[in-house]
Amino acid sequence: TTAQIGVTGLAVMGRNLARNFARNGYTVAVHNRTSARTHALVAEFGDEGEFIAAETAKDFVAALERPRRLVVMVKAGEPTDAVIQEFAPLLEPGDMIIDGGNAHFADTRRRERELREQGIHFVGMGVSGGEEGALNGPSIMPGGPKESYDSLGPMLEKISAKAADGAPCVTHVGPDGAGHFVKMVHNGIEYADMQLIGEAYQLLREVAGYSPARIAEIFRTWNTGRLDSYLIEITAEVLAHVDAATGKPFVDVVVDQAEQKGTGRWTVQIALDLGVPVSGIAEAVFARSLSGHADLRAASRGLAGPKASPLSESEAAAFADRVEQALYASKIVSYTQGFHEIDAARAEYDWDIDLGAVSAIWRGGCIIRAAFLDRIRAAYDARADLPSLLADDAFAREIASAQDDWREVLVAATRQGVPTPGFSAALAYYDALRAARLPAALTQGQRDFFGAHTYRRVDREGSFHTLWGADRSEVSA
C-alpha cells in the first residue's frame, strides 16, 4: 500500500494532524526524527485508521504515492530547514513539501524559491486552532503554487474545520508565503481581540465595580449577540472559574504578566515595514510586554491616580451596555487594520488574495472564529475592492451608532484611571481617518523648516520649499 499523505514531525501538532488525516480515511505515512514517537503514535492510535510507520527518511518517501505530499510539522526555524534539506534530495519534480509549522512568511518565500528550482512545490501552510484544531479540524491557510492546491486542497477540505454553513475552513490563500502571512495576521488580530476583551473586563471590574462571576454573566449575554465568538465564550468560562485551593476567582490568583510566542510581534514588525497602521495590534503586543515588566510596575505603583468615584447600580448597568458598544466598535477597527495589512502585502508581493475568502476560513477551527466574520465576508462580497472595512456601509452604520457610547467609555476610563490602550488606539484611528485635516500638514512644515524636506500644496501641483532662513519666500523644489 502507498500513503496519500505523509507527516514528519510527530510532536503534539503533527501527531494530531496525522490522526485527523487517518480518521478521514487517508492512508498516512508517519515519520519522526526520533522514531520512538512514530511507534508510540501507531501503538496508541493505530486503530483510528491506516498508518504506515517509517523509520527512515527513505522509507518515508518510498511510502508516498506520487506526486508526494509530505507535511512537515517540526519546530519552526532551523529544524524546518534541516528537514527540508534531508527530504528534498529524495523527492522528484511535482512532489510537494507542505510546511504546517509557524514559519515566518519570509522564510517560506525563500524556501519556496529554493525548492522551485528543483521542481518541488513548497506549500507554506498556516494551521490555526492548536492541538485540538489539528485533531478535530483546524482552519488551514495554505500558500504555495496554485497547482499544488488542485491535488492537496480536497484532502485539506476534508480534514479542516467546517463553518456553521458547512463550508470547509480552507482555501488557497495565494502564492509562496501568502498562507503563512495570513496566519501571522490572524494571530495579530487574535492579540488585539484578546486585549480588547481584557480592557472590557477591567472596565466592568473597576469602573462598574462588578465581580468576575457577574462579568462572566455579562460576557455570556454578549455571546448571544453580535459579539458571538469563541474568545468571548471562553472568557466567560475563565471568569466564572473559581480557584479550588483558595476559593477566590481564578482570575485573581493568576500572575498578571502575559506571555507571547512572537507571531503578534511579527505582525507589527511587518506592518511597520509595509507602512500599515496596525495600532490596535501594536497596543496589544505592547500591553503584554508592559505587563511583564514587573520591576517597572512595582517602581511605579505609588504614582498618583484619580480618586475613584463608584457608579450607582443603574449607572453601572448602563455603563456595561456602553462597554459592549465600545468593544464592538474597537473590534471592527482591529479587523480593519489587520485586513489592511493583508491588502498591503497583496500589493507588495503581488499576491492574489481574496480577502472575503480569508475571513470565511477563519469562521471555524481557529481562535478568532466568530459570527462577526460572516459580516466581513459580506462586506467583501458586496465590494471586492473595498479600500477599508470602515468603508463598508453596514460597518460604518454600526460604528455611527456605537460611537457616542465608545467615547463615553473612554471618558470614564480616563477619569477613573483605567488603561484602555486598545479601545483608545481604535478610536484615535477612526477619528484620524475621518478627520478633514490632520496635523501632518504641520509636521511637513517642521520637516521643511529643519531639513528642507519640501511639501506639497493643497492648491497647486508640485513640490515646494520655503526659504525659512532667508526671506521666507517659497520656491519650487
Which positions make up the binding site?
9-14, 32-34, 74-76, 102, 128-130, 186-187, 191, 261, 288, 447, 453
As measured in angstroms, the least distance from the Cβ of 127 to ligand NBP is: 5
Report if residue 160 touches ligand NBP, rule: CB under 6 A: no
Do 211 and 249 contact (CB within 8 A), yes or no? Answer: yes
Any catalytic annotation for residue 283?
Answer: no
Q: What is the dihedral of CA 261, 262, 267, 273, to 10 degrees?
A: 180
Report if residue 39 touches ligand NBP, rule: CB under 6 A: no
Binding residues for NADP(+): 9-14, 32-34, 74-76, 102
Binding residue count for ligand NBP, defined by CB under 6 A: 23
Report if residue 34 touches ligand NBP, rule: CB under 6 A: yes
As measured in angstroms, the least distance from the Cβ of 361 to ligand NBP is: 14
Any catalytic annotation for residue 331?
Answer: no
Closest residue by beta carbon to ligand NBP: 101
As measured in angstroms, the least distance from the Cβ of 131 to ligand NBP is: 6
- Closer by beta carbon to ligand NBP, 76 or else 270: 76
Report if residue 55 touches ligand NBP, rule: CB under 6 A: no
Report if residue 75 touches ligand NBP, rule: CB under 6 A: yes
H/E stretch holding 79 reads helix 78-87
How many residues are recorded in the chain?
477
Amino acid identity at 401: S
Q: What is d(CA 86, CA 203) in angstroms, rounded to the nearest whole number?
A: 53
Amino acid identity at 304: A
Residue 176 φ/ψ region, left for φ over 0, alpha for ψ in the -120 to 50 degree band, beta for the rest:
left
- Closer by beta carbon to ligand NBP, 74 or else 326: 74
Do 73 and 10 contact (CB within 8 A), yes or no? Answer: yes
Stretch that binds ligand NBP, among 128-136, 316-324, 377-385, 467-475 (CB under 6 A): 128-136
Phi, psi of 235 (to 5 degrees): -60, -45
Do 455 and 358 contact (CB within 8 A), yes or no? Answer: no
Q: For residue 46, what is its C-alpha cell?
A: 493505530
Do 96 and 152 contact (CB within 8 A), yes or no? Answer: yes
Q: What is d(CA 469, CA 400) in angstroms, rounded to the nearest whole number?
A: 47
Report if residue 32 touches ligand NBP, rule: CB under 6 A: yes
Q: What is d(CA 146, CA 117) in angstroms, rounded to the nearest whole number?
A: 16
81-100: which residues touch ligand NBP (CB under 6 A)?
82-83
Report if residue 226 touches ligand NBP, rule: CB under 6 A: no
Choice from 79, 94, 292, 417 touching ligand NBP (CB under 6 A): 79
**Active-site residues: which are they?**
183, 190
Binding residues (CB under 6 A) for ligand NBP: these are: 9-14, 32-34, 37, 73-76, 79, 82-83, 101-102, 127-130
